[in-house]
Amino acid sequence: MRENIKIKRTKQGIPKVTANTIEDCMYALGYIHAVDRGMQMIFMKTLGRGRLSELLDASDTSLAIDIFFRRMNWYGRTSKPLSEVEPEKRKWLDSYCLGVNEGFAKTYPFELTLLGVPKETWVIEDCILISRMIGYLTLAQSQAEIERLFIEMVQAGLSETHLKELFPNILAGANYDWIKKIQLEERVISPEILWEIGAPKMMASNNWVIGGKLTKSGKPILSNDPHLEINRLPAVWCEVILTTRDWFAMGGSMPGIPGILTGRTKDLSFGVTYAFVDGHDSWMEQCREGKYLKEGKYKPFLIRKETILRKKKKREEIIFYENEHGTLAGDPYKEGVYLSSLWAGVESGGASVNAVLSLLTIKNTKEAMESIRELETAWNFVIADSEGNIGYQMTGKVPKRKKNTSGFVPYCGWDKKDDWNGFESPADLPKSYNPKEGFFVTANNDLNQYGKVKPINMGMGSYRADRITNLIRNGSNFTVDDVCKMHYDVYSLEAEIFMKILKPLLPDTEQGNILANWDFKYDVESKGAYLFEVFYKALFKEVFGKKNLGEKLISFLQEETGVFVDFYDKFVNILLAEKSIWFGGETRQEIYRRIAAESLNTPIKTWGSVQEISFTHILFGGKLPRFLGFDKGPIALPGGRATISQGQIYRAAGRKTSFAASIRIVSDMATNDSVSNMPGGASDRRFSKWYSSDLENWILGKYKTLSPNSEEIKF
């Protein structure tokens, strides 16, 4: 360790760095990540480089995972982004990597030693890899999944009328005849398998900023609670406090990359959610003899060969066919129509590094907005400064597409007019500076109205954003404690809207009476929340299953995928409509009354009884005796899909997965402090006292204080 750097812990276990320069702080951050989260970092690097079969497990599932990551090729295409990194930021990156490697020289995770994973030098390309993985899994990927579902619906014979009602205003340019001809390749890997082996699963989030006119302190208060898969240990985030004599930065960092992604400095606070920018498109390719049709001529694909080593098994040689539209899903030597797909962030890295690290030194909201908008992956940032300014900025590369098309439907690869024509200017992305209402809220909802370009075609429902907005509009003199209470709010505006229709149609039974008197809150003791969800799922199966797509398909989408987690409101809009072709000739009231009578004839349970989740170790979860303490829980998870406090649970790859607050953090710019909690602890070392040290606070709604002046103990 460099002599001018001191690393201690706060009494809550949070690493605290004291150094002379920010460059030295980045070195210390790398060291901390290696010591506290080394297993997490190396595991993610192994996945991202497509080396799972070589280093950890040679099963067929691992091979499929490796093929997925080799197809994405995130470890390649790094020369351009690295050339874009500003000289000062490059020094910080170099320093971070040096710190990581010193940390690994001091200690190496015993789990990886047991599994035979060798030590390897951490390099800048690894940071770029991790940043690309964070930007895609499952965020941009969720967009690709719903676009794939649309294709499958077309091929299943669903009418254009049905589709246009389900996906309004985004199907322009759809060539239904050609879509029906697409030969959909068997998935190289089902997304659920990725989550089974611990790839980061990221989804809904909330962040909001309240201006000083509405706070008790007279300065802005900023809040963030990113909703990720929380039932894995270690926790996704690594909290740190970095200080020099006249500077500090603290909050949530992501192991494997330098910087703070949600947190604050002395002058600036910032929080992040996913923006659901559509940066992923597909093209239909007419293929034969290894070539694809373009402007009336057949052109050869570029061929990329990958070799995947497998423990004690024969190596696999994989060939990928690529063109200007990305990577082909199919064999072009077999004549037919296949899809090629491209993600706008495939070469991201350099501008993103500059943008994220710039937040460490920028002192005002406006400058921060101008800098962060260059970030190449899709996020919603809310920002506040110590002078009292607040702002919102969307980020992400948005392709310039054919006029009057949204990117939701597949394009015709043979027509040059359907190609991307560069990218929209970041200056035209949605943003807001010192909004008149005095606050700004994001919750993965549609925020197109704030930009010159409209990058969202499939946002999430607005229920969470509307609930936060209502609480702020109806309040005043907000304090940090008030905002912390909002984090745990479990009131569902979605349920309130449904119940206005359903209540007069309920059966006169014990279950019907409980539901009729429900307060629309998803707390763990609520019987009404349980009964409403029984009705809700049965209604989905009736309208979208029995009458249209089949019960088995809807059951699978509900129970084994994230489709109804990400984009449930598209389906809810149908269910709430007075009339719909999806109703199959019945009225809404007739369907509601019948489904209520049928589904509510069920034993009465509490919401918490079906919301239990265990926290499992990222490598050994469920494989070791519980007395060893690698796994924690179970706990009952409050909240639902449409509540501020997210509490979504469904099955994926045969196990339960979840979405809830992966960190809760609040900063009042009148002080130098933040408060936070998260479902885990500072360390990924099972036998460290900090392995799950914050979990109880997270469950009970207690917060710890992060401060540059925190008392210190030994690291």
What tens digit of pLDDT does each residue of 546-559 get? Answer: 888 777 777 777 77
3 band by pLDDT with thresholds 50, 70 and 90: confident
Q: What was the pLDDT predicted at 208?
A: 98
Mean predicted confidence (pLDDT) in 417-431: 96
Q: What was the pLDDT predicted at 187?
A: 47
Q: Is 564 or 233 the better-scoring residue by pLDDT?
A: 233
568 is in which domain, residue-wise?
493-609
Please choose, from the candidates 482, 495, 497, 498, the residue with its C-alpha nearest in 3D space to the C-alpha of residue 522: 495
Q: What was the pLDDT predicted at 86?
A: 95
Contact 53, 311 (CB under 8 A): yes
Q: What was the pLDDT predicted at 136?
A: 80
Q: What was the pLDDT predicted at 440?
A: 98
Contact 25, 19 (CB under 8 A): yes
What tens digit of pLDDT does each residue of 293-342 get? Answer: 999 999 999 999 999 999 989 999 999 999 999 999 999 999 999 999 99
159 band by pLDDT with thresholds 50, 70 and 90: very high
Average pLDDT of the chain is 91
- For residues 598 and 622, membership in a common domain is answered with no
Dihedral sign, Cα of residue 121, residue 124, residue 125, residue 131 = positive
Burial zone of 222 (CB within 10 Å; 0-12 exposed, 13-18 middle, 19+ buried): buried
- For residues 520 and 415, membership in a common domain is answered with no
User: Does pLDDT of 197 surpass 70?
Assistant: no
- For residues 597 and 622, membership in a common domain is answered with no
Please choose, from the candidates 50, 329, 64, the residue with its C-alpha nearest in 3D space to the C-alpha of residue 196: 64
- For residues 514 and 541, membership in a common domain is answered with yes
Q: Which two tokens stand for residue 222?
A: 């900023």
Which DSSP string corresponds to 171-233? -TT--HHHHTTB-PPPPSS-HHHHHHTT---EEEEEEEEE-GGGBSSSS-EEEEEEEE--SEE
CATH at residue 290? 3.60.20.10
Q: What was the pLDDT predicted at 227?
A: 87
- For residues 603 and 615, membership in a common domain is answered with no
End-of-domain residue from the set 609, 635, 669:
609
- For residues 162 and 38, membership in a common domain is answered with yes
Mean predicted confidence (pLDDT) in 191-213: 69
Residue 243's DSSP bridge partners are 18, 248
Per the document, the length of the chain is 715
Please choose, from the candidates 92, 73, 101, 113, the residue with its C-alpha nearest in 3D space to the C-alpha of residue 24: 92
Choose the most confident range, by mean pLDDT, from 279-283, 346-350, 403-407, 665-669: 665-669
CA-to-CA distance for 703 and 675, rounded, in angstroms? 6
Matching residue, tokens 């239909």: 284
End-of-domain residue from the set 586, 609, 632:
609
- For residues 175 and 55, membership in a common domain is answered with yes
201 band by pLDDT with thresholds 50, 70 and 90: low
What single letter denotes the amino acid at residue 515? L
Number of H helices, E strands in the chain: 23, 29
Q: Residue 37 CA to chain centroid, in angstroms?
A: 20
Number of domains in the chain: 2
CATH at residue 512? 1.10.1400.10
- For residues 478 and 506, membership in a common domain is answered with no
Q: What was the pLDDT predicted at 570?
A: 87
Q: What was the pLDDT predicted at 195?
A: 43
Percent of the chain with pLDDT over 90: 73
How many C-beta neighbours within 10 Å does residue 627 have?
Answer: 6
Q: Is 564 or 284 the better-scoring residue by pLDDT?
A: 284
H or E element in which residue 270 lies: strand 268-274
CA-to-CA distance for 471 and 610, rounded, in angstroms? 28
Please choose, from the candidates 408, 354, 306, 331, the residue with its C-alpha nearest in 3D space to the C-alpha of residue 72: 306
What tens digit of pLDDT does each residue of 567-585 get? Answer: 788 899 999 999 999 999 9
Q: What was the pLDDT predicted at 141?
A: 60
Q: Is 385 or 151 the better-scoring residue by pLDDT?
A: 385
E-only strand ranges, 607-696? 612-617, 632-636, 648-652, 655-661, 664-668, 674-677
Please choose, from the candidates 536, 700, 567, 675, the residue with its C-alpha nearest in 3D space to the C-alpha of residue 203: 567
End-of-domain residue from the set 570, 591, 609:
609
Please choose, from the candidates 381, 365, 368, 390, the residue with its C-alpha nearest in 3D space to the C-alpha of residue 215: 390
- For residues 177 and 228, membership in a common domain is answered with yes
Q: What was the pLDDT predicted at 188?
A: 43
Q: Hey, is 639 helix, strand or coil?
A: coil
DSSP secondary structure letter of residue 252: E
Cα dist. 433→73, 79, 221, 362, 368 in Å?
37, 35, 15, 16, 11
β 247-253/238-244 pair status: antiparallel
- For residues 515 and 617, membership in a common domain is answered with no
Contact 225, 234 (CB under 8 A): no
Mean predicted confidence (pLDDT) in 199-203: 52
Mean predicted confidence (pLDDT) in 207-218: 98
Phi and psi dihedrals of 608, rounded to 5?
-65, -25
- For residues 497 and 459, membership in a common domain is answered with no
- For residues 91 and 166, membership in a common domain is answered with yes
CA-to-CA distance for 653 and 195, rounded, in angstroms? 8
User: Does pLDDT of 198 surpass 60?
Assistant: no
What tens digit of pLDDT does each residue of 44-82 get? Answer: 999 999 999 999 888 888 898 899 899 989 888 888 888
What tens digit of pLDDT does each residue of 621-661 get? Answer: 777 788 788 889 899 999 999 999 988 887 655 567 788 99
H or E element in which residue 355 lies: helix 350-358
What tens digit of pLDDT does each residue of 129-146 get? Answer: 999 888 887 555 667 778
DSSP secondary structure letter of residue 521: B
Q: Is the entire prediction scored with pTM above 0.85?
A: yes
CA-to-CA distance for 165 and 582, rounded, in angstroms? 9
111 band by pLDDT with thresholds 50, 70 and 90: confident
Q: Which two tokens stand for residue 318?
A: 């994989």
Lowest mean pLDDT among 68-72, 392-396, 551-555, 702-706: 551-555
Contact 424, 396 (CB under 8 A): no
